[in-house]
Structure 1
Amino acid sequence: MRQGILLYGPPAAGKDTITAALNELDGRYVPFARLKIGTGKTQGYRMGTPEQLAALEARGDVIYRNDRYGNIYVVDRPGLYQAMEGGRIPVVHLGQMVGMEQVTTLFPAHWVRVLLWCPKETTAQRSPQRGDTDTAARLAAWDATEADLAAHPRAQWELRVDTDTTAPREAAERIDKIVRTTSPRS
């Protein structure tokens, strides 16, 4: 059975950092590169065109689409299949509960859901440190993520990690333990 990890949290909560720590722990953990249609940062994305997006939508291969920061970000079926080849375990970053719901519903796999959290002040500090030029938009997204989480009080998580008090390696080890103990192959 295919496996994946969903990391949910506000901007600068540590999704990239914990994904890197997971990859260092076990090379099967790979970052899922969402399809991005737009401008700005390209690292960590598969850059696409509006025509590619239209073709994916026409085939029903868009699992989740998010429009933010003037760009379109897509979790797509072909991308997930490719990311899971050879027993790899993709780590998908999301900041919206609807995305979590759509991925777990529309793409059958054993998903481990992890809530990464940090205070708004931490996002305000980390955002410019990582080179963001739109920290105000990141803080607005933090507010939206907090409201989104509050609107889904029954959301189920295998783990919550407060990233301002938990080292990335420790978080990765805790996530890895959950993946290994809940794996359908274990």
Structure 2
Amino acid sequence: MTGRQGVILYGPPAAGKDTVTAALTELRAQYRQFARLKVGSGKSTGYRMGTAEQLRELEAAGGVVYANSRYGNAYVIDVPGLDAAFAAGVPVVHLGQVGGIRALIDGYPADWAVVLLWCPREATAERSAGRGDSDTTARLAAWDATRGDLDAHPSMVWDLTVDTTASTPRDTARLIDQLLAQRAGAATA
């Protein structure tokens, strides 16, 4: 195993992935949200916007670790992006698909801490409406898909599971940070 540590946050829309990542960054500057390559339109904040041609070139070069489509866009985890993220610190990758987690763990060597952030469907609806999302219906459909994904993969192993309606983002960040510290200590022992 490499000495590189990364965090994978899995959960449905509005489970707190962005908020927990911000809390991690406040806790320690080395944590940084991984900016996935996004091919499409809409929200660009938190993404590296790309073109279909760039995606084809990455695919041809074997540089795509995982890609999925949602909300009419392609979202890509790529080798050059991960290389840059690890050079800058501890990347925090947001995912909503177990297949993406497995592709990342199998396709990019690092000590990945896999964290399930969960909230009930009602919490996703309230949080989405509260932050002014114009696509709450699509986010609820994604919540349903995430629930189905979990149900389809009952053997998935989580290093940490957090109900974000019961744990503050700061407390969740501390739990994740402690998990990484323990794993780093175990690796050097």
TM range (shorter): over 0.9
One of 31, 38, 46 as aligned partner of 1:36:
38
Give the Cα separation in 2 of the matches to 1:154 and 1:133: 35
- 1:144 alignment partner in structure 2: 145
The letter for the 2-side match of 1:12 is A
- 1:108 alignment partner in structure 2: 109
Give the Cα separation in 1 of the matches to 2:60 and 2:39: 16
**Aligned positions of 1:13-162 closer than 5 A:** 13-86=15-88, 88-162=89-163
Once the 2 structures are TM-superposed, how far is the Cα of residue 185 of structure 1 from its aligned partner?
4.7
User: Scaled by the length of structure 2, what TM-score is found?
Assistant: 0.96
Q: Secondary structure at the match of 2:170?
A: helix
**Aligned positions of 1:165-184 closer than 5 A:** 165-183=166-184, 184=187
Root-mean-square deviation over aligned CA pairs = 0.9
Give the Cα separation in 2 of the matches to 1:51 and 1:77: 17
Once the 2 structures are TM-superposed, how far is the Cα of residue 130 of structure 1 from its aligned partner?
2.1
**Percent identity, aligned pairs only?**
58
The letter for the 1-side match of 2:141 is A
Residue 81 and residue 185 in structure 1: after superposition, are their counterparts in 2 closer, same or farther (change >3 A)?
A: farther
The letter for the 2-side match of 1:98 is G
User: Scaled by the length of structure 1, what TM-score is found?
Assistant: 0.97
Q: Secondary structure at the match of 1:84?
A: helix
- 1:163 alignment partner in structure 2: 164
Give the Cα separation in 2 of the matches to 1:115 and 1:131: 25
Give the Cα separation in 2 of the matches to 1:124 and 1:90: 28
Gaps of 5+ in 1: none
The letter for the 2-side match of 1:128 is A
Q: Secondary structure at the match of 2:21?
A: helix
Give the Cα separation in 2 of the matches to 1:67 and 1:181: 35
Q: Secondary structure at the match of 2:74?
A: strand
Give the Cα separation in 2 of the matches to 1:139 and 1:176: 30
